[in-house]
């Protein structure tokens, strides 16, 4: 369960991402156009310390882009290169926002969902002490099976990130992930697997999702693990 607050964020998530995304190698669309939110989904942090959210956004007439984020109450040790910026949350105070591709909390959460057949977290808004269910704007599900082992989380300074074939390729300890940056654009899944050079002793799973205007499940993240 993801607990949300009725709160004001300065800058807003979209404002923060809008100043950063056009500088990234995976960005597609008009860099001068306003960034628009299409949908989003969250995962749970078992320790309840890190907000883990993926935004699906679009710039002008460009494709939908996947932007995984994490929100922390203190800087991520070893994660300075992945910092997008800070926000002031009217309930939680200052929050440090990171590119999820370089944050071990996001990587573990998405790998767990993909490998174990998990899904996005249900979201509840704290309204004067009452928890109100928020209807999801995106539905995601992993292709794996319950009970599948998930690689141990590593520190941020042991996470390697690079851009290839329109995707973000991440190596984090024993896990390797491909984050599809423009889902819904006829992604070549076979090509993504080749990027990771799988071997016979490596299992792989995929996180797929649907959202408004996208009724056919689309690949979002591919995960390989021993």
79-118 pLDDT tens trace: 999 999 999 977 777 999 999 999 999 999 999 999 999 9
pLDDT band at 187 (very low <50, low <70, confident <90, very high): low
- Position 5 scores a pLDDT of 62
Measured distance CA(217)–CA(118) in Å, rounded: 15
Among residues 183, 166, 7, 3, the alpha carbon closest in space to that of 87 is found at 7
Regarding pTM above 0.75, the answer is: yes
Tokens for 113? 């969902």
The DSSP output letter for 127 is: E
119-131 pLDDT tens trace: 999 988 877 777 8
Average pLDDT over residues 136-160: 95
- Position 51 scores a pLDDT of 94
| Domain boundary assignment for the chain | 2-225
Residue 207, pLDDT above cutoff 80: yes
Average pLDDT over residues 156-180: 92
């Amino acid at each position: 369960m993801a607990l949300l607050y009725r709160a004001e964020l300065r800058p807003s998530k979209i404002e923060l991402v809008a100043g950063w995304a056009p500088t990234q190698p995976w960005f597609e669309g008009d860099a001068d156009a306003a960034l628009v939110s299409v949908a989003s989904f969250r995962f749970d942090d078992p320790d309840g310390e890190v907000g883990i959210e993926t935004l699906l956004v679009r710039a002008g007439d460009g494709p939908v882009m996947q932007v995984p984020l994490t929100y922390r109450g203190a800087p991520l040790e070893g994660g300075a290169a992945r910092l997008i910026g800070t926000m002031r949350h009217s309930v939680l105070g200052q929050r440090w926002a990171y590119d999820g591709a370089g944050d071990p909390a996001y990587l573990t959460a998405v790998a767990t969902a993909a490998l174990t057949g998990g899904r996005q977290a249900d979201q509840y808004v704290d309204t004067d002490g009452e928890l109100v269910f928020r209807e999801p704007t995106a539905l995601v599900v992993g292709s794996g099976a319950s009970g599948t082992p998930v690689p141990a989380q590593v520190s941020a300074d042991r996470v390697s990130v690079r851009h290839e074939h329109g995707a973000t390729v991440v190596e984090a300890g024993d896990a390797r992930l491909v984050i599809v940056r423009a889902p819904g654009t006829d992604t070549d899944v076979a090509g993504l697997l080749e990027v990771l050079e799988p071997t016979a002793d490596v299992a792989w799973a995929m996180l797929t999702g649907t959202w408004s205007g996208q009724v056919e499940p689309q690949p979002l993240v591919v995960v390989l693990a021993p």
